Structure formats: structure tokens, C-alpha cells
Amino acid sequence: MFKRSEKRWMSFAVRPSRRFPFRRPPATARRRLRAGGLLLSLLLLTWGSHRAEERVLVQGLTDAEIWYTDPASYSLSRNEGETASLARLRLWAAGEFMHNLQGFVLGAVEGGTGTEAGETDTRLEQAYLRYSFDAPRRLVLQAGKLYLPYGNFSRRYFSSQNPLIGTPLNYEISYPLGIQISGAVKRFDFMAAALDGPLTHQGYDSPTESAVRPAVSAGVTPLTGFRIGAYFTQGPYLSRISEAWLLPGKTLGDFHEKVMGLDVQFSRAHFELNGELTQTRLEVPATGDAWGRTWYVEPKYTFSPRWYAAMRWERGDLPVANWVWATTWTAEQDRINDLEAGIGFRVVPGFLVKTSYRTELGKQSFGADPEGHALALQLSYSFDVNSWFLRPR
């Protein structure tokens, strides 16, 4: 049994990002029914949570966004440059089944002209079990549909945690199946996982092949407020449709993605700094390797409990396995050099208003006028469903 306000549930993080816009494959009726059933289940949990308030927490986050973008920008454009709107609702439930064994499930509904496909999408993002070992062992074991467990931004993907509105371009939205164990020893922390999904999506209208891939990370906190970490993962990355574009005798499992990176976190008084450096190598069919290195720095300063300002500068080259025709491929790079700056105002503890401006600072590898821009306004409201059913004392 535990109090609803305990911070232990705050460790359920969410994540993860997209790099460049791509057409999402049309959702089948079966997928929509499953996702709709998930949200219905969450609502049923919500209805019953007042009876088992000590056992189940149900919370949510809703976002409303308005975008004004440059139609010529490949990476920043939304709704072909016309005014774009987006609404998003996430609901999650966390429950403790027995001592040290918890469960977590998260579903989302998103729609509007500002989405990738310009249509409403209902999806299951996370659903996993967590087992926390008793002290003095600081170990946590998780299994199910997870967020990608490595990288600096993955822990800050929600609008309530992201100080800006956009995301780094080298992140993909991905929630693979997997099993993960993480822990800490004094100032050192570590994570090891086996995941059924890659970091990269090459933009084809097809899911990636199911293949288990390792992922490891480690970090050290030498001083309070300062942590530096490293991570590594490797495995197949091509979409299933790519199998028809390979030379005879080759399979999707023959071509791997290798990702390694460093991330840093620093905070002192009202100042925060996050950053990451990522190097990626893609084995491209019938061509060779595509290499790329990207980095970003993200400072934030809080002027008062309500006001803050933040900025993110991102630069580098993203490797791309580009299919041309038949079995012909090219190994390419997409150049990144963009800056996003914005301010946030917290109206009440659960209601955050943000505005940001993002611009491309240099030429990309293709496009008629790639130096685009994006102006956005976001309203973010987080809520605790359990509190709706609390009896007055």
C-alpha cells in the first residue's frame, strides 16, 4: 500500500521521437479496435480507481498545438505550410499487483492537420510489467512494450518535460517490445536490454522486421547535479518492404545499424543543461556504409516558478540508406543545422503554455529552399484522474 502522492511513480518515463516526417501506413481495423480497447480499459480503470485508490493510479496529459511553418522545409514543414493544428491525449495507468511488482499501460489519441498523416490516430504506446528488487539491491526489471531506454531526450519526451515544443531530428517515435534491467551502484548507473526494434526508421511505409537487438548504457554522477553517460546498440534496421529490393541471397538481417553516443546532464540553481552526441553507421545494401554524427546542446534557465526560457541547437549529418530502384541503393547523409528557442509560462502547476521558434541555419543535402522555419504555440495540461473521485475529508 502506498500514498497516491508518492514520487515512486514519477520514475515511469516515456519517450520516444521522430527524425523526419514520413507517411504512416494506414491503420487496419484490427489495430484500431485493439487501441480503442486499450483506451476503454484505461477508462474502466479510471472508473474503478476510486474503489482501489491505494492500488491504481490513473493520470493523463493533453496537448493542443498550433503550427506556422515554411512549406519548402523538408524537416520542419507541416500541412504543406498552411496553418496546422494538433490535439493529443495520453492516458496511463500504473498499479501494484503485489509487493515489488507493478504494471504500467499508456495509450494515446492524436489528430489534426499538424500530425504526420493529417488524420486521427489511436495507438498503444507502452504496456509493461516492472519488478523492483528489495534494498540494498538497486535493481529494476521491466518487460513488455517499452520506450527506447537510452539517450538523453528519451526521458524528457512528454510536453510536460520537454522545455521546447519540437524534438531533436535524430529521434524516432518507437516503442519496441523488450526486456530491460537497470540499476545503480553508488555513483554509477547501468542498463542492459534486449529490444525488438531499431532506433532508425528509413521512411518506407512498412514496419521494420522483428529482430532482437542488444542495448546497453552506463553513466556516472561525479557531482550532485552532473551526470555523463554513454550508450550502444546494434541490430537490423530496414523495413520489411526492403526485402524485395535486396540482391539474391541477402536478407534484412544482413544489414545492421550501429549507434553509439554520449549524453550529459547538468543543473545548478536555476540553470539546466542537457546535451547529446550520437554516431550512427548504417550498412547499406549493395553499396557500403553510411556514416553520420549529430549533436545538440539544450540550455534552460528558470527566471521564476512560472517563467523559463530554453534553447536547443542541433547540428550534424544523419546517415540514410536510400533505395533508388530495383536492387540499387545509395549511402547518403542529411545535413542538420537548426536552432529552436522558446519561453514557457506555468499558469498553474498542471497547466503549461509554451511558444517557440525554430529555424534551419544552413543548407541541407537537397531541396529548393531548405532554410525553413517553424513557429509553434502549445498548451499542455496534466491531470490526475484519481483526484476526481477522492471523497472530501
Residue 388 in grid coordinates: 476526481
Low-confidence ranges of the chain (pLDDT < 70): 1-54, 173, 199-205, 363-370, 391-393
Give every CB contact of residue 58 below 8 A, 6+ residues apart in sequence. 42, 45, 46, 49, 91, 92, 93, 384, 385, 386
Residue with cell 495520453: 90
Closest CA to 179 of 139, 230, 145, 229: 145
pLDDT at 393: 60
pLDDT at 7: 37
pLDDT tens string 131-182: 999 988 899 999 999 988 888 888 888 999 999 999 998 877 678 899 999 9
Give every CB contact of residue 363 below 8 A, 6+ residues apart in sequence. 335, 370, 371
pLDDT at 59: 96
Other C-beta atoms closer than 10 Å to the C-beta of 260 total 14
Residue 360 CA to residue 340 CA, distance in Å, equals 9
Residue 122 CA to residue 203 CA, distance in Å, equals 20
pLDDT at 205: 63
Closest CA to 168 of 331, 272, 18: 18
SS3 (DSSP) at 9: helix
Query: DSSP secondary-structure letter at 243?
Result: G
pLDDT at 376: 97
DSSP β-ladder status, 177-185 and 328-348 = unpaired
Domains in the chain, please, with CATH?
12-389 (2.40.160.10)
- pTM: predicted TM-score of the whole model, two decimal places: 0.82
pLDDT at 250: 93
pLDDT at 372: 87
